[in-house]
C-alpha cells in the first residue's frame, strides 16, 4: 500500500520532525519544569506569528477549491483570533511581559524565517502550498501535545498551551488539513514538499531558539 502523501512528506522531513515533537522544550512543558524565562521568550516570539499566520489562513481561504474547505479554515481562523490570542494575553500578564517587550524584543532567526515562509506561502497563490505550511504548523503541534503526560502541569501557562493543541476539535482540524494535503498536494508535489520540509526545519529551530539568550 502506498503511504499517504502527508506521511511521505513527514518521512522526508526527518530527522527534524522527530526532533521537534520530542524536543527538550516539549518535555519540559509537559512536566511543568520549563523555566519562566524560556517560556516568556517562546511566547513572545510565538505571538509574532499570529499576524502572518492569519494572513496565511486568509490566503488558503481565498484559494481553496471547495466551499467546505473555506468554512473549515474560516472557523479555525476564529479560534486563533479568539481563544488562542486570549491565552497569549493572559500568559503575558502572568509572566509580567509588558507591551514594550512584546513589541521591542527583536525577532530571532527562526522567527524571521518562519514568518517569511508563511508570507511566501500566502503570496504564492497556491492552495496546496498554503495547506502544506498550515499542516506542518498544526500537525506537529498536535503530535507533541499528545505526548505530554497526564495529569497536566498545575500552572495554566503550561496546561492550557498543551490543551489548546490536544483536544478533539483540534485533532479533527488536523485530520482535515492532512486530508486536504493528500488531496491537492500531489498536483504540485515538488513545490509542496519544499514548503513542508522548510516548515518542519523551522519548527525545530524555533524550539531551539527558546533557550537562546
Nearest C-alpha neighbor of 166 from the set 151, 181, 148: 148
Does the structure show a pLDDT above 80 at 213? no
Q: Distance between CA 37 and CA 111 in Å, rounded? A: 17
Does the structure show a pLDDT above 70 at 1? no
C-alpha cell at 130: 498554503
Buried b (16+ CB within 10 A) or exposed e, 29-46: bbebebeeebbbbbbbbb
Assess contact for 3 and 181: CB atoms under 8 A.
Answer: no
Q: What is the pLDDT of residues 64-123, one digit of tens each?
A: 999 999 999 999 999 999 999 999 999 999 999 999 999 999 999 999 999 999 999 999
Across residues 140-155, what is the average pLDDT?
A: 97
Q: Note the pTM of the prediction, 2 decimals.
A: 0.96
Q: What is the pLDDT of residues 157-195, one digit of tens each?
A: 999 999 999 999 999 999 999 999 999 999 999 999 999
Q: What is the pLDDT of residues 34-54, one digit of tens each?
A: 999 999 999 999 999 999 999
Mean pLDDT (the chain, rounded): 96
Q: Distance between CA 132 and CA 159 in Å, rounded? A: 28
Assess contact for 199 and 53: CB atoms under 8 A.
Answer: no
Q: Give the contacts of 4 (CB within 8 A, at least 6 positions apart).
A: 178, 182
Q: Give the contacts of 149 (CB within 8 A, at least 6 positions apart).
A: 30, 31
- The DSSP secondary-structure symbol of 158 reads H
Amino acid at each position: 500500500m502506498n503511504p499517504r502523501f502527508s506521511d511521505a512528506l513527514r518521512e522526508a522531513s526527518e530527522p527534524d520532525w522527530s526532533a521537534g515533537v520530542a524536543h527538550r522544550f516539549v518535555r519540559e512543558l509537559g512536566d511543568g519544569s520549563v523555566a519562566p524565562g524560556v517560556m516568556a521568550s517562546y511566547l513572545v516570539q510565538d505571538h509574532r506569528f499570529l499576524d502572518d499566520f492569519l494572513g496565511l489562513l486568509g490566503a488558503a481561504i481565498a484559494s481553496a477549491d471547495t466551499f467546505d474547505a473555506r468554512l473549515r479554515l474560516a472557523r479555525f481562523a476564529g479560534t486563533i483570533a479568539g481563544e488562542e490570542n486570549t491565552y497569549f494575553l493572559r500568559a503575558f500578564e502572568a509572566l509580567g511581559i509588558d507591551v514594550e517587550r512584546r513589541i521591542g524584543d527583536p525577532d530571532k532567526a527562526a522567527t524571521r524565517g518562519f514568518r517569511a515562509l508563511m508570507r511566501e506561502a500566502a503570496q504564492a497563490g497556491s492552495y496546496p502550498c498554503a495547506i502544506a505550511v498550515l499542516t506542518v504548523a498544526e500537525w506537529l503541534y498536535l503530535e507533541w501535545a499528545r505526548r505530554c503526560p497526564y495529569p497536566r502541569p498545575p500552572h495554566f501557562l503550561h496546561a492550557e498551551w498543551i490543551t489548546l493543541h490536544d483536544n478533539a476539535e483540534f485533532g479533527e482540524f488536523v485530520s482535515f488539513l492532512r486530508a486536504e494535503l493528500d488531496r491537492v498536494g500531489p498536483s504540485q508535489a515538488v513545490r509542496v514538499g519544499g514548503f513542508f520540509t522548510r516548515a518542519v526545519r523551522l519548527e525545530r529551530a524555533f524550539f531551539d531558539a527558546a533557550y537562546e539568550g
